[in-house]
Structure 1
Amino acid sequence: MNIEQFQQALEGKGITLSTQQLEQFETYYKLLVEWNEKMNLTAITDKEEVYLKHFYDSISASFYFDFNKPYHLCDVGAGAGFPSIPLKICFPNIQVSIVDSLNKRISFLDHLASSLNLTGVKFYHDRAETFAQKAEQRETYDIVMARAVARMSVLSELCLPLVKVDGTFIAMKAASANEEIEVGKKAIVTLGGKVEEVHSFSLPEEHSDRNIVIVKKIKNTPKKYPRKPGTPNKQPIE
């Protein structure tokens, strides 16, 4: 997907990018490739692939959820900033907090935000399990997102404790979403969530399957969750 195709595809979804926003994506790409030589940020470095599999793919959540309001969004395990930074470029009104366990990636994100002149962004070097137990973070976010981080039963425990009641957890998954949701149902309910919608589509050009799982937070998460770092992955609620 070249820049023109990227622009046109988004216009087809009602998102019109300004010259400045297109320049921000260009700078993002250049910095991603430059920093990737020093640290492992992504296996994808071909420009057209980055625009399709990272930028467009990240923004696809907005095809099914309206990001035009001044939401406070938390991105768990964002790595090189996906999906929240592409969404922030398209929807500057959202506030973004990113939690990542690797300090090198936080250094990249700091440099990226400064280079893109982004405001209303914060980066936290922490494990999701400990971050969500902090009183000032717990159940404070309108939206919590994660893309390709863990299976639903694990991901729900990392994300739902951060979502405020009546807020939304959005999981961006590949092809196995329906099986994962079935297995993860107990975890979602236990943690105070309810699956509202699952949107399935194919990524343009390469036609790989994608799923956007939208979970509503309907009640408070019990205080014991999330459990200690590593426990959700070793002993998922299933």
Structure 2
Amino acid sequence: MECRDWLGEQVRVGLGLELSGEQLDRFSLYFRLLVEGNQKLNLTTITKESEVFIKHFYDSLTVAGHLPLTSMETVIDVGTGAGFPGLPLKIAFPHLRLVLLDSLNKRVTFLKETTEQLGLKGVQYLHARAEEAARNRSHREAYDLAAARAVAKLNVLSEYCLPFVRRGGWFVAMKGPDVSEEMQESERAIQVLGGTPVETVSLSLPENQGKRNLILIQKKSPTPKTYPRKAGTPLRKPVK
């Protein structure tokens, strides 16, 4: 079975998500563009086709099984890197208005070229630090969902992401197998920044390719104007 067809079957059974042939073709093209781009940039250490489809594409789409993406309009992918989870979510949910934020301009250029070749509309690219972008009026508390995948510890990541989220919106942190310590360390940060943890979803990737956790946090109140602090401070001095 081709990887595109495997992905279609897995997301249908595992996530209740129906992907068209055109959408699955886009994932195949995305894989090829990722491998080509990886020859020039350090985008990913995972380049085997089957592993990319599981560990990048399927993994990114797990969000769809636990948040109402069909009723959302705006998504920001913070620290997107090679486009995960933002671009897989955009392929699967074309109506989303997506912002891909990354601090490295070369990656942003790759994302622009990739999105154009994939024929995706409604994607904006933001070359900036999260701490700086979240102070911009056009981005602050403007999104239904802020997503981040393996960017930083949760207490730091909360300060990067929650300022982007509108009241009632969501922040999803996509994490590895063990998050109990991070959750404990992040309780106050999440509260201070206006969020409340709703659920931690533990899941297994297909083909025994690893364990994952989705930490789902809802925005309950506005983020205080003092956050995020200046670039670099959240990482050096996380909220405790």
Alpha-carbon RMSD across the aligned residues, in angstroms, is 1.1
Q: Provide the residue aligned with 2:137 in structure 1.
A: 135
Write the letter of the residue equivalent to 1:9.
Q
Counterpart position of 1:4 = 5
Identity among equivalent pairs (%): 45
- Distance apart, 1:70 and its partner CA: 4.2
- Aligned partners of 1:72, 1:235: CA distance in 2, in Å? 30
Q: Residues 70 and 95 of structure 1 are in contact (CA less than 8 Å); yes or no, is this contact kept in structure 2?
A: no
Name structure 2 gaps, 5 residues minimum.
Answer: none
Other-structure match for 1:153: 155
The Cα offsets for residues 199-236 of structure 1, whole Å up to 9 and x where unpaired, read as 11111112411111110101111111111111101100
Partner residue in 1 for 2:51: 49
After TM superposition, the structure 1 stretch with the greater mean CA deviation from structure 2, 130-139 or 1-10, is 1-10
Identify the residue that residue 95 of structure 2 maps to in structure 1.
93
- Number of aligned residue pairs: give it: 238
| 1:77-131 residue CA offsets vs partner (Å, 9 max, x unmatched) | 0000000100110111111001100000000110011001101110000000000
Aligned match for 2:212, one of 210, 213, 235: 210
Q: Distance in 2 between matches of 1:70 and 1:155?
A: 22
Alignment correspondent of 1:165: 167
CA distance in 1, matches of 2:149, 2:227: 21
SS at match of 2:199: strand
Whether the aligned pair in 1 keeps the contact of 2:85 and 2:148 (CA below 8 Å) is yes
Distance 2:147 2:46 in 1: 21
Contact 1:74-1:98 at 8 Å conserved across structures: yes
Amino acid at match of 2:10: A
Residues 126-170 of structure 1: CA deviation (Å, up to 9, x unaligned): 000000011121111111010010110000000001101111111
| Correspondent of 1:190 among 171, 189, 192 | 192
- Which whole-Å CA distance do the structure 2 matches of 1:189 and 1:209 have between them? 27
Closer/same/farther in 2, CA of residues 21 and 209 from structure 1, 3 Å limit: same
Kindly provide the CA deviation profile for residues 48-75 of structure 1, in whole angstroms up to 9, marking residues without a partner as x. 0000000000001111112112420011
Residue 177 of structure 1, CA deviation: 1.8
Contact 2:72/2:144, CA 8 A, preserved across alignment: no
* Matched residue type, 2:145: I
Supply the distance in 1 between the matched residues of 2:4 and 2:29 (Cα, whole angstroms): 13
Cα separation, 2, equivalents of 1:3 and 1:167: 31
Alpha-carbon displacement from aligned partner over 1:166-210 (angstroms, at most 9, x marks no partner) = 111111111122221111001000000000111111111124111
1:237 and 2:239 aligned: yes
Q: TM-score, normalised by structure 2?
A: 0.97
Name the CA distance, whole Å, in 2 between partners of 1:11 and 1:196. Answer: 25
1:144 to 143, 146, 149: 146
Structure 1 runs not aligned, ≥5 long: none
